[in-house]
A and B are shown apart, each in its own frame.
Chain A
Amino acid sequence: MIQILLLASLGITALGAAACSMPFLKGRVAPLIGGYSAAAAGGAALLAAILVLVNGGQACFSSVWQLPFASFSLKLDQLSAFFVIPVSLVCGLAGIYGTGYMADEGNSTGGRLSWTWFLLLMGSMITVIAASNGILFLVAWETMTVSSFFLVTRYHEKGEVRRAGWIYLTASHIGTALILVLFAFPGAAATGSGTLVHPACSHGLFFLLALVGFGTKAGIVPLHVWLPQAHPAAPSHVSAVMSGVMIKTGVYGLLRMLTCLGSPEQWPIWWGWVMIGSGAVSALYGILNALGQRDIKRILAYSSVENMGIVFIGLGVWMTGASTGNALMSSLGLAGALLHVWNHSIFKSLLFLGAGSVAKASGTRDIELTGGLLGRMGRTGLAFFTGSAAIIGLPPLNGFTGEFLIYWGAFSAVYGDNGFHASVSGLLAITALALAGGLAMICFTRLFGTVFLGSPRSENAGKACETVGSMYIPMMILAVLCLAGGLLAHLVVGFLPGVSIASGTPEVLGRIALVSLALPAGMLLAGALRKILLSGRSTTTSDTWGCGYILPGSRMQYTASSFSLPALLLFRGFVSLRLTTRSNGEYFPNGLSLKSGLRDSFMHRLYEPLFRSLHRLSGWFSGMQHGRNQLYVLYMAAVLLILLLWELGV
C-alpha cells in the first residue's frame, strides 16, 4: 500500500513534468496541470510517509537498473518518512500557490517549462530522501540541483538573476563533488546505510566531508553564499520550496551519512563542538545580515541561514550529550533539531509565499517602498503575522517547541551536574540561541512592521489589493499548521525518529501549550471587558499624533534601515556595514544623503578574491586553447604515442 502511494506520487510528478513540457499546451492549462499534479503527488507521498511514521515500520521498493552498482531501490524508514512529510506538504501547497502566482505567465514557454522543472524538483527531492542506493541518491541529487537551477534562472533576462544562478550552480556542484568523494568510501555506495569498517582517523575525515558537502546544501556559514542570491531570484513558490525543504535535504544527507558511523556514543567530542560552533556562527551571522537587507526575500533567505544554524546547534547538543554520556541532553537535542526542521519548513514557506503575494500586489520586493498593506491584504497579512510570530519562537506557535527542546537539552547539561565539557557546550548553545532569538525579534518586527503596518510609502503600495484565493488559501493552511504544531507538539514528539523521549517530555509540552493559551484567553477577557466599557461611549478615529507637525505623511514613518541601524552599529565588527554619506557643498549643503548597506563578508573577502585568483590562474592555461585543430590532433597523437611506448616498451 505504502509502496503504491510512493510510486504513484513519483509517477504523477514525472507525468506532470512531461505534460507541461509539451509545446502545444494552452496558456491557461499549464499552471493548473503543474500545480494540481504537485498537490496530488504531495498528498500521496504525505499519506505514505504518515503511514510509515505512525505504524513504526518501513517500506521498500526495489527494481533493476542497468548501471553498475546501481539499483532503483527506495526505502521509507522512519528518518526518510520524517523528511518526506515536509517535502510533500510544502511542494503541494506551493504548487497550488503557483497556479495563482504564475497564472499570467502560462502563455510563455518559460512559464510552461518552469512547471516541468518544478515537478522534476519535487520528484527528485522525494527520491533523494527515499533512496537507499548510493547511485540513485547521487542521480536524484544532481537532478534536484539542475532543476532548481533552471527554476532560479526563470527570469534570466535580468543580469542579477543570471549571476545568482551561476553562483548557485557553482556552490551546489562543489558540494556535490565532496559528496561524491564521500560515496567513494566503500560500504556507503552499496546500500547508503551500511556500516563502515574503517579505522577511527578517517571517521573524522568522513564527518568533515559530510559536514562541508551537505552543509553547502543546508546553508551553513561559510558555505551559505548562494542562499541570499538564489532565493530572491527565483519565483516565490520556488523560493518557498527551496528554503522550506530543499535545504533540509542537506540535513537529511548529513544525518544519513552519520548513521554509517556507528552509534553516537562512540563519536569523539570534537564533532559536537564543531556542530555547535558552526551552528552558532551561522545563526548569529545569518540574522545579523538579515537585519540589513531591503529585499524582502533576501531577509527571509538570511533568516533561513539562521534557522539552519539553530538546527545544527540542536544536532551539536545531541552529539555532545551522546559523547559525554548524557542521555537526556542528547535525546532532547536531537528532538529539538528534528522538530525545528519541521517547524521551519512550515513557517518559512509561509513567509516566502507571503513575500510573493506582497511582491505581486505592490510590484516591488523592496520593503522601503511598501507599507500599510495589512489594511488592504487582510488575509495575507494575518497569515504572514502568524509566520512572523512563529519564526521568532513565540508561544503558543510551533517555533517555540523546537527551540524549547534544544534549550532544555542545553540546560540539562547545566543543572544535572554533568561534567565540564557538557556544561560549557550547553553554555555556548544557550548564549547563541538567546542572542539569535533576540535578533530575530528585531528582524521580523522590522519586516512585518515596515511591510504591513503604518501607511504606504509608495503609490503602488497604496493601490495594492488582496491576491486570489489560490494564493492565500495555502498560506492560511500553513498558518493553521503553525498553530496546531505549537499546541499539539506533545503528540508529535513521540514520533520523531531515532529519539527515545524521556517520560516527562510530552507532559511538559502539554503544560506549555496550556500555559501559552492563557495569553490569548486573557486577551479575549480583556477585550470583552473593553467592549463592555466602550459600549456607551464614543469611539472615533483621528490622525496619528505628530507633535504638532503640520504636514505629516508616510515619509515621516520610521524606515526599515533606521529601525535596525542601532543593532547593526553595535555589531559592526561582525558584518560589513557600509555607510556612505554624500553632501553637495561644504558648509551649507542643501542636499544630504545617507546610504547604508550590507555586503556579505564571506562573499566579499573570501570567495570573490578566491575565484578571481582562480580566474587568473586559469588564464595562464588559455594559451593551450588556441583553436587550431591541427595542434589538437597533434596533442592526441603525442599522448597516444607516449601511451603506446609506455605499455609496450618499458
Chain B
Amino acid sequence: MIQSMVHVLLALISAPLLQGVINRVKAFFGGRRGQPLLQPYFDMIRLLRKGAVYGNTTTWIFRISSLAAAAGPAAILALLPLGRVPAMLSFNGDMIVLVYMLAAVRFLMVLGAMDTGSSFEGMGASREVLLAALSEVAFMLCLAALAAAAGSFSLSGVYREMDTFGPVSVMSATVLLILLLSENCRIPVDDPRTHLELTMIHEVMVLDHCGIDLCLIQYGSALKLWVFSALFSGICFPFAGRSLWADLLAGLAGVFATAVVTGVIESTMARIRMKRLPEMLSLASVLALTAFLWEILV
C-alpha cells in the first residue's frame, strides 16, 4: 500500500523527467549534448509565471479543457500498477475505467480545440479522434488478451501474474509500445517538435492555449507518458523481486528504460505518412487479436 502511494508521488513529481530523458537520448543520436534533463520543469515554471490570453470565440469549454488535461492522467495514476506493485485503487474492471478516463480527457481537449474556431485546431481534432477510435480497439483487445493470460480483470492482478515471456506477452508489449507512441504523439505517429500544421496531430490541438493552461497541458501529457510507460514496462521488463520495495525500484527503472527506448525509436525512425497511420493502428489491433486467440487456444 505504501509502495503504491510512493509510486503515485514519484510519478507526480518526476513525470516531466521522462520527457527530459527522451530529449537527451534524441540529442545523443544527433551528436549534440542536448538540453538539461530538467528542462521540461524549467519550461513549466516559466509558463506558470505568465498571464492569459483567450480567443474571442472561446467559451467555458476551452477554459476547462486544459484543467481536464492535467487532472485526468493524475486521477488515472491511482489505478496504475507499476510492475508487481499494485495500484492505489484496484477493483474488477479498473482497466476499462482507465481507457474511458483517457477518452474523457480527449473529449474535452478535442472540444477545446474546436472552440477556437480555427481550421488548424479542427484539423488536429479530426485526426486525433480518428486515431483514438482505432487505438481504442487495439487497447481493448490487448487488455482482453492480458486479462485472459492472467485470469484477472484488474490491472494490478494482471501485472502481478505476468512475469514470464511468451508469445502473448511479446505481442502485448508490442501493441502497448505502438499505443504509447500513438497516444503520446511520438515519432512515428506525430512529431512533438514540429509546428507545421500539415504534420501535427496533437500539437496543433493546443495551438491556442498559452501560459498556465499550456503548462497544465504539458504536465498532463508528461503524466500520460508515465502511464503508458508503466503499462509497457510492466509487460516488457517483468521482475519479481523479494520485496515490494525491490519491485518498486525495478518498476521505476523499467519506466525510465522505456523512455530511453522511446528516444531510440524516435531517433531512428521517420514519421509515417498520415495515410498509413490507420494501417499501423489496425496492425496493432491485429497483433492484439492474435495474442488473444493464442491465449485462449493454448
Contacts and interface: CB of A to CB of B under 8 A. Distances in A.
B265 interface: no
Contacts of A434: 136-137, 139-141
Interface stretch (A206-214, A514-522, A615-623): A514-522
Interface residues of B, number: 81
B56 to A, nearest CB: 6
Contact of A512 (B68, B97, B137, B197): B97
A55 interface: no
B53 A542 contact: yes
Interface string B127-167: 10110111011011100100110111100000000000000
Given A394-B104, A415-B153, A547 B78 contact: no
A448 B213 CA distance: 22
B246 interface: no
Interface stretch (B16-24, B36-44, B57-65, B226-234): B57-65
A393 B289 CA distance: 24
Contacts of A520: 71
A507 B50 CA distance: 44
- Main SS of the interface on chain A? helix
A299 interface: no
A414 B106 contact: no
B5 interface: no
A441 B133 contact: yes
B64 A523 contact: yes
Contacts of A565: 126
Interface stretch (A147-155, A468-476, A555-563): A555-563
B93 A544 contact: no
Contact of A526 (B71, B105, B126, B144): B71
B57 to A, nearest CB: 5
Interface string A379-416: 00000010001001111000010001001100110111
Interface stretch (A86-94, A120-128, A137-145, A529-537): A529-537
Contacts of A437: 103, 136
A415 B147 contact: yes
A481 to B, nearest CB: 19
A408 B91 CA distance: 12
Q: Taking each of A416, A424, A427, A530, which has the highest tally of chain B beta carbons within 10 Å of its own beta carbon? A: A530
Interface stretch (A98-106, A348-356, A449-457): A449-457
B114 A445 contact: yes
A544 B147 contact: no
Interface in B41-91: 48, 50-59, 61, 64, 66-68, 70-72, 74-75, 78-79, 89, 91
Q: Taking each of B53, B136, B289, which has the highest tally of chain A beta carbons within 10 Å of its own beta carbon? A: B136
Interface string B195-213: 0010000000001100011
A527 B52 contact: no
B130 A512 contact: no
Contacts of A522: 67, 70-72, 74-75
Contact of B120 (A375, A537, A547, A570): A547
A593 interface: no
A415 B144 CA distance: 8
B91 A508 contact: yes
Nearest to A420: B296
B92 interface: yes
A463 interface: no
B100 interface: yes
A454 B51 contact: no
A538 B53 CA distance: 8
A168 B1 CA distance: 60
B92 to A, nearest CB: 5
Interface of A: 371-372, 374-375, 385, 389, 392-395, 400, 404, 407-408, 411-412, 414-417, 420, 423-424, 426-427, 430-431, 433-435, 437-439, 441-442, 445, 448-450, 453-455, 504, 507-508, 511-512, 515-516, 518-523, 525-527, 530, 533-534, 537-547, 552, 554, 556-558, 562-567, 570
29 contacts: A374-B59, A385-B61, A393-B100, A411-B153, A415-B151, A415-B153, A427-B144, A427-B293, A437-B103, A437-B136, A445-B110, A448-B111, A450-B114, A453-B117, A504-B92, A515-B94, A515-B101, A519-B68, A519-B101, A521-B71, A522-B67, A530-B213, A541-B53, A544-B58, A545-B55, A545-B207, A545-B208, A556-B118, A567-B130
The 3 closest A-B pairs by CB, nearest first: A558-B122, A522-B71, A438-B133
